[in-house]
């Protein structure tokens, strides 16, 4: 049987992490873990329960009481929060604009990282986020850091919104993405940063398939 490796995919917002991670995981028959969805689920719960997202103690109370499950679904990953399907609820702009504050708390990250490492215990995992190669899976056999210009990333989200029939403003998206990247990169705990041993791929002018091919090549080299 082939060796089951771990693949860490990090990078800024809308660089294509989850899209390519999902395809790579399907190709290898690995588990796909979208760690951003976990921070989003907690943010959604905090907003719904009117918790002050700056208050770490309050956030930890609800996190310790929360079951966050990530399941494979036909149209992508399904996110369950305490047994209820929140897959779409966690993608609203209200959640998107508050999630970085939630994710900056040290205690929150410690607990999330523990849960993520548990998901990856058996190997055979493709995990995407901001700190996977640096903190969650520092020994991952393949580490990739995806990049793209902020204009390209905003345009990708814009096209996605239009396709789904959601209201969308390209300029506002550009500002929101730049602001979230800055916040994620400058926070004290586990900031968004390329791991020293990660391969950087600038996807600005690459298709999804071209990015997938590059990651699959790296993975197959390591699987042997
Ligand atoms: O898909 P998108 O790039 O918009 O973001 P996401 O992957 O869903 O992550 C949402 C937010 O969660 C990020 O902006 C980070 O603040 C936080 N996050 C994190 O801090 N660490 C991770 N491993 C994953 C996400
Ligand atoms: O997970 P992350 O926030 O990094 O990005 P995503 O949600 O996977 O991708 C954002 C959008 O960019 C999706 O609509 C993809 O179809 C599109 N896209 C891409 O992911 N990669 C490319 N090379 C080109 C487009």
Q: Ligand 2: does its nearest atom lie under 6 Å from the Cβ of 9?
A: no
Q: Ligand 1: does its nearest atom lie under 6 Å from the Cβ of 153?
A: no
Domains observed in the chain: 6-219 (3.40.50.300)
6 assigned to a ligand binding site? no
Q: Ligand 2: does its nearest atom lie under 6 Å from the Cβ of 156?
A: yes
Give the ipTM: 0.97
pTM: predicted TM-score of the whole model, two decimal places: 0.97
Quick check: 84 pLDDT over 90? Answer: yes
Q: What is the pLDDT of residue 3?
A: 83
Q: For residue 21, what are the CA distances in angstroms to 27, 71, 180?
A: 10, 14, 21
4 Cβ neighbours under 8 A, 6+ residues apart: 30, 122, 123, 124
Q: Ligand 1: does its nearest atom lie under 6 Å from the Cβ of 129?
A: yes
Q: pLDDT by residue (tens digit) across 122-178? A: 999 999 999 999 999 999 999 999 999 999 999 999 999 999 998 999 999 999 999
Quick count: other Cβ atoms within 10 Å of Cβ 155? 16
List, as one string, the DSSP characters of 15-67. SSHHHHHHHHHHHHT-EEEEHHHHHHHHHHHHHHTT--TT-HHHHHHHHHT--
Q: Note whether 121 and 115 are within 8 A (CB).
A: no
25 assigned to a ligand binding site? no
Residue 159 Cα: closest atom of ligand 2: 14
170-186 and 93-103 helices, crossing angle to 10°: 10
Q: In degrees rounded to 5, what are phi and psi of residue 169?
A: -130, 115
What tokens were used for 52? 């002050």
Residue 203 Cα: closest atom of ligand 2: 23
Q: What is the pLDDT of residue 131?
A: 98
Mean pLDDT, the chain, rounded, equals 96
12 assigned to a ligand binding site? yes
Query: Which of the ligands is closest to the CA of residue 180?
Result: 1
């Amino acid at each position: 049987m082939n060796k089951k490796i771990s693949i860490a995919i990090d990078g800024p917002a809308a660089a294509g992490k989850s899209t390519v991670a999902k395809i790579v995981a399907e190709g290898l028959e690995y588990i796909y873990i979208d760690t951003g969805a976990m921070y989003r689920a907690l943010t959604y719960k905090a907003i719904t329960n009117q918790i002050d997202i700056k208050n770490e103690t309050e956030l930890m109370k609800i996190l310790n009481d929360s079951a966050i499950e990530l399941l494979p679904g036909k149209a992508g990953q399904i996110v369950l929060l305490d047994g209820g399907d929140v897959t779409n609820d966690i993608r609203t702009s209200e959640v998107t604009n508050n999630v970085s504050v939630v994710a900056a708390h040290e205690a929150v990250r410690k607990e999330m990282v523990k849960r993520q490492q548990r998901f990856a215990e058996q190997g055979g995992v493709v995990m995407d986020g901001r700190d996977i190669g640096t903190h969650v899976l520092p020994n991952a056999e393949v580490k990739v850091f995806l990049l793209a210009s902020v204009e390209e990333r905003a345009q990708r989200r814009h096209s996605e919104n239009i396709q789904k029939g959601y209201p969308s403003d390209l300029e506002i998206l550009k500002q929101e993405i730049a602001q979230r990247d800055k916040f994620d990169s400058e926070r004290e705990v586990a900031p968004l940063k390329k791991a020293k041993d990660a391969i950087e791929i600038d996807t600005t002018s690459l298709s999804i398939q071209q990015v997938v091919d590059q990651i699959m090549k790296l993975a197959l080299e390591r699987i042997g």
